[in-house]
Amino acid sequence: MAPRRLPFIVTLLTAAALVTGCSDGEDSGTDSSAPTAEADAAVDQRVTEAEQRASEAEARVSELESELDTARQQAEEAETRADDAESRAEEAEAAALAAGEEAAAESYLEFSGFSRQGLIDQLVFEGYTQEQATYGVDQTGL
């Protein structure tokens, strides 16, 4: 008698499973919204955090662009000051050289009688260029 009852019990259990919805993997629906709501909340939280990080990154980019603009402006100002200093140095060097040429020419004239060309030749011999020597002699009035 037991073998005849077994198919009946299996059929009864299968029917019970179908009625309750367990056999097809579906739930009764009471708990199915909770995991979905939790997942949605987690996704919303991650999106909010990502948006906040993006906003902070954009703010930092703006700060860095402002700092870069300031640094470029300061570099341009420094370059202008350096160019001005270089020009002043060149002018001072030229003035000192001119004064040195004139002083050298006058120094030679004080202890020795040079002709104009002789004085120019002596200054060239001392290391001045032809133009510098001529300029120095011209400044002495010789």
pLDDT at position 24 is: 46
Residue 46 has pLDDT above 50, yes or no: yes
pLDDT score, position 122: 85
Report pLDDT digits (tens) over 63-91: 989 999 999 999 898 898 888 888 887 77
pTM over 0.85: no
Banded model confidence at residue 34, pLDDT cuts 50, 70, 90: low
DSSP letter at 23?
T
The predicted pLDDT at position 45 comes to: 92
Q: Which residue has the higher pLDDT, 50 or 29?
A: 50
DSSP states along 31-48: STHHHHHHHHHHHHHHHH
**Cα separation, 53 vs 104, whole angstroms:** 74
The one-letter code for the residue type at 44 is D
- CA 93/CA 85 separation, integer angstroms: 12
pLDDT at 136 over 60: yes
Question: What are the sequence ranges of the domains in the chain?
Answer: 41-140
pLDDT for 138 equals: 86
